[in-house]
A and B are shown apart, each in its own frame.
Chain A
């Protein structure tokens, strides 16, 4: 296995494009090196993107933040600006693994690994985050909800790299939240995850909401009907219940050792409602 650590993204793309065998991008390695160790992947070339300028940077942009794809969970959690604007994204990323994993695991890696249970992804989808992708034909942008196509599968073509993820600006009175259910309090894979982002207008009514679910389908889902059920309401019990119904209707989970279909669907409803209440409370302070 050849290891390369180029210093700019054009070189990284060229290296990937020039490899006739199996080539993989390496960010924090907390998925890739486990897969390597278990023999699930056998790359001929690994391109470490952490030395590329900007890939580990967080920069303010048009009132939002551009997060380099290789920014670690620990780094994101220490950024006061992102914490204030997108607390739900930061709490979702912060749930990934232990302190040791946080020091390495990147937001881009969580997205590209495309686990249906990835914790950062529902929060990013709810946030309306957009990934910038660099490849042999230049750059393109993809909304995060359209990024994964199935377990471990994404829209990335050969030699494409996620360069950064944009968390957009927010209207006043906006906030977000992410909750997951796991059988223990740390270090486990989400049985269900629910991310929600909303804006409360000056009138006290919700002027827009996005609800996303993890681990209840083959990929993270944006549930538009759930967001619509909150829009125009003040998030009273009736609106929350209708939102929960839309969430339950969108779930198409599998039965596995972590939870049955019925259990996952029920938990998704409960978590989405709880996350909405947290986001509402935060929006009151935003």
Chain B
């Protein structure tokens, strides 16, 4: 099979790539485009380390084909900071030490950003349910939840 040519938008920029029919968006991002922020934890939709935003919804990029992205809008962790200025979620993750090895962190940040965009004042329970698809084997989650809630406060104050 000849590879498929895909034109899409990633972090606001038009991007074209070639991919095989059975290649996942995660593999395209990491291996073809050098966007290695999204991580491969399980490749079966269970861990959320590969989370990206596809047309406004957070998805597991390991369960999306690269070919499906044609004409869509994708946002990845690489688009989160504004140049050298970190996003409030990123700031709060550092402040609360909400990461250890960091493998889960890009996926959690992306998922948390979408969660806060839809619900700017979530309860602790809403954060825990909203992020249930993001596994972390290091932190025990408490610091992550606190960082997200604190970032929500900061972001609301900033408005």
Contacts and interface: CB of A to CB of B under 8 A. Distances in A.
Contacts of A50: 68
A5 interface: yes
A37 interface: yes
Contacts of B63: 28-30, 33-34, 101, 104
Nearest to A32: B63
Interface string B23-48: 01000000000000000000111101
30 contacts: A1-B1, A1-B22, A2-B1, A3-B4, A28-B63, A29-B68, A30-B45, A33-B45, A37-B62, A48-B67, A48-B68, A50-B68, A74-B57, A98-B45, A98-B48, A98-B134, A99-B132, A100-B45, A100-B51, A100-B58, A100-B59, A100-B60, A100-B133, A101-B60, A101-B63, A103-B54, A104-B59, A186-B129, A186-B132, A187-B46
B80 interface: no
Given A98-B134, A103-B57, 19 more contacts: A2-B21, A29-B65, A29-B68, A30-B45, A46-B22, A72-B57, A97-B133, A98-B48, A99-B131, A99-B133, A100-B48, A101-B45, A101-B133, A103-B59, A104-B57, A104-B60, A104-B64, A186-B129, A187-B46
A46 B111 contact: no
Contact of A1 (B20, B45, B115, B130): B20
Interface of B: 1, 4, 20-22, 24, 43-46, 48, 51, 54, 57-60, 62-65, 67-68, 70, 111, 114-115, 129-134
Nearest to A48: B68
A36 interface: yes
Contact of A37 (B43, B70, B130, B134): B43
Contacts of B24: 33
Does more than half of chain B's interface fall in helix, strand or loop, or is it mixed? mixed
Contact of A103 (B43, B58, B67): B58
A38 interface: yes
Nearest to A28: B63
Contacts of A30: 45, 63
Interface of A: 1-3, 5, 26, 28-30, 33-34, 36-38, 46, 48, 50, 72, 74, 97-101, 103-104, 186-187
Contacts of A72: 57
Given A2-B21, A97-B45, A29 B64 contact: yes
B67 A3 contact: yes
Contacts of A187: 46, 132-133
Nearest to B48: A100
Give 10 closest A-B pairs by Cβ, nearest first. A98-B133, A103-B57, A3-B21, A186-B132, A1-B21, A1-B22, A3-B67, A100-B133, A33-B63, A100-B60
Nearest to B115: A99
Nearest to A103: B57
Contacts of A28: 63
Contacts of A100: 45, 48, 51, 58-60, 111, 133
Interface hub of A1, A30, A103 (most chain B Cβ within 10 A): A103
Contact of B111 (A5, A29, A99): A99
Contacts of A26: 65, 68
Contacts of B59: 100, 103-104
Nearest to B50: A100
Given A100-B45, A187-B133, A3 B57 contact: no
Contacts of A5: 67-68, 70
Residue among A29, A36, A50, A100 with max Cβ neighbours from chain B (10 Å): A100
A36 B44 CA distance: 10
A37 B44 contact: yes
A28 B54 CA distance: 12
A11 B102 CA distance: 45
A67 B60 CA distance: 24
A1 B21 CA distance: 5
